[in-house]
């Protein structure tokens, strides 16, 4: 069987049940599934087919733990940039922000973390890796594996590069923790089409 035939979930179901998964079971992801997910990633469109990307899949638990600590620091560094000093500043109740905060505590426990890197620092290379992220998440979803998109912060950049042997010329664009969901996949909440789409002119909303 090929990756193509293993990713057989209907596209509609895959798209409509893909949501951010931030809590994971500890069960490992089989290498064959991880390979399929990466194969899907490298099929993505990219500028001029230059493929200025590198996908670093972290499975080793000790490296994940170290990366998890750096991710935690990065998450809070980003919050500090927004004027948020600690958990007491984050409103209680269910929200993506609170879930993201919990993920920051548990990041290193995700069975696999894929670092989606650009092989150069420019905006062009960064833009070229973005479509691969959706391919990765859709392929993972088709295999019953969840994840979400996350970013680091310049405060930890040098240490992340040193930890993982990432060349100075490359950049980590996104980090995608992956695992079998604790909780379920499901529908997402989005603004209705007429609010965000139009035909022919900006002020001619789809009705």
Ligand X SMILES: Cc1cc2nc3c(=O)[nH]c(=O)nc-3n(C[C@H](O)[C@H](O)[C@H](O)COP(=O)(O)O)c2cc1C
| Interface positions with ligand X (CB under 6 A) | 19-20, 22, 96, 100, 103, 148-151, 188
Task: Using the minimum distance from each CB to ligand X, give the nearer residue, 52 or 181.
Answer: 181
Q: How far is the CB of 138 from ligand X (least distance, A)?
A: 12
Burial of 75 from C-beta contacts in 10 A (0-12 / 13-18 / 19+):
buried
Task: Using the minimum distance from each CB to ligand X, give the nearer residue, 3 or 157.
Answer: 157
Task: Using the minimum distance from each CB to ligand X, give the nearer residue, 20 or 69.
Answer: 20
DSSP string, 137-173: HHHHHHTT-EE--B---HHHHHHHHHHHT--TT-EEE
Q: How far is the CB of 200 from ligand X (least distance, A)?
A: 28
Residues 6 or more apart in contact with residue 202 via CB below 8 angstroms: none
Q: How far is the CB of 57 from ligand X (least distance, A)?
A: 19
Task: Using the minimum distance from each CB to ligand X, give the nearer residue, 90 or 100.
Answer: 100
Cβ–Cβ contacts within 10 Å for residue 26, how many? 10
Cα–Cα–Cα angle for 157, 76, 61, rounded to 5 degrees: 60
Task: Using the minimum distance from each CB to ligand X, give the nearer residue, 48 or 192.
Answer: 192
Cα–Cα–Cα angle for 72, 40, 144, rounded to 5 degrees: 65
Q: How far is the CB of 141 from ligand X (least distance, A)?
A: 11
Q: How far is the CB of 31 from ligand X (least distance, A)?
A: 25
What DSSP designation does 68 have?
H
């Amino acid at each position: 069987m090929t990756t193509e035939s293993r990713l057989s979930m209907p596209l509609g179901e895959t798209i409509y049940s893909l949501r951010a998964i931030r809590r994971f079971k500890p069960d490992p992801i089989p290498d064959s599934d991880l390979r399929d997910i990466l194969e899907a990633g490298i099929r993505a469109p990219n500028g001029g087919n230059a493929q200025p990307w590198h996908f670093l899949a972290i499975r080793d638990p000790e490296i994940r733990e170290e990366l998890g600590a750096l991710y935690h620091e990065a998450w809070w560094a980003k919050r500090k940039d927004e004027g948020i000093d600690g958990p007491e500043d984050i409103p209680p109740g269910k929200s993506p922000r609170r879930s993201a905060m919990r993920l920051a505590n548990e990041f290193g426990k995700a069975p696999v973390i894929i670092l989606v890197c650009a092989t150069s620092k420019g905006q062009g290379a960064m833009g070229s890796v973005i479509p691969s992220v959706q391919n990765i998440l859709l392929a993972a979803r088709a295999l019953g594996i969840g994840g979400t998109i996350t970013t680091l912060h310049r405060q930890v950049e040098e240490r992340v590069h040193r930890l993982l042997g990432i060349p100075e010329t490359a950049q980590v664009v996104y980090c995608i923790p992956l695992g079998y969901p604790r909780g379920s996949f499901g529908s997402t909440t989005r603004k209705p089409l007429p609010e965000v789409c139009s035909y022919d002119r900006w002020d001619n909303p789809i009705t």
